[in-house]
Structure 1
Amino acid sequence: MPFLDPKSKEFRLRILEGSGLGEMTCVPPALHYIPPDPSMANARAEAELVIFSEIDALFKRTGVQPKDIDILIVNCSQFSPAPSLSVIVINKYKMRSNIKSFYLWNGMHCQPHRYRSSS
């Protein structure tokens, strides 16, 4: 990090060493770069990785099919893409066109969405 002075580098190193992160710690791909790459594409990829893997596990564990879902609520405190994460989930799993979907973000602001298929 050539843009940091030695004192700043030393401070960042102390923070990292005290954080509990180790050789086996998993962090999002965007944080593998110095400086981190907080682009919209990386944020979306990270959100999709987490959300899709959890939804896949839920469907497998319960036997519920995407077409059986009546209401979908997705919550993410910092990332608010367009289309919303709830619409991304609906499109990925080809859920019903009349599903009620809500995307909660930035605290507890609720954004209802009308579903529009991307196909």
Structure 2
Amino acid sequence: MADVRIDGDTLVVEISGLDRLWALKSSLSIPLSNVRGATVDPGIVNERKGLRAPGTHVPGVITAGTFHLDGERVFWDVKDPARAVVIELRDERYARLVVQVDDPRATVELVEKSLGSGR
């Protein structure tokens, strides 16, 4: 699971618990200027993931880590699709982050509100 917060002009994603092990990452920091937006998308877990490198993928259980698909790099940390949020990025290592959060709607609202104030 991930904790998404805004720290000044930076989006911070903290990976918690054993997900750090499965995702091989503990946190990501992205300048808000490189965040395009966020959406709640439980259906994204049904899409192709691409080549896992490095990470973990056990269908129906967990998708975590870095995946390469169609020339893009996507970071995943999802066990429960109902709590999946997609954060679209530009000019970053990852094209998007797909993470599980406690409250998807509140997370999307937080990201979108932060982008609205900075535009």
In the superposition, the TM-score normalised over structure 2's length comes to: 0.22
Structure number with bigger Rg:
1
Larger strand fraction of residues: 2
In the superposition, the TM-score normalised over structure 1's length comes to: 0.22
Larger helix fraction of residues: 1
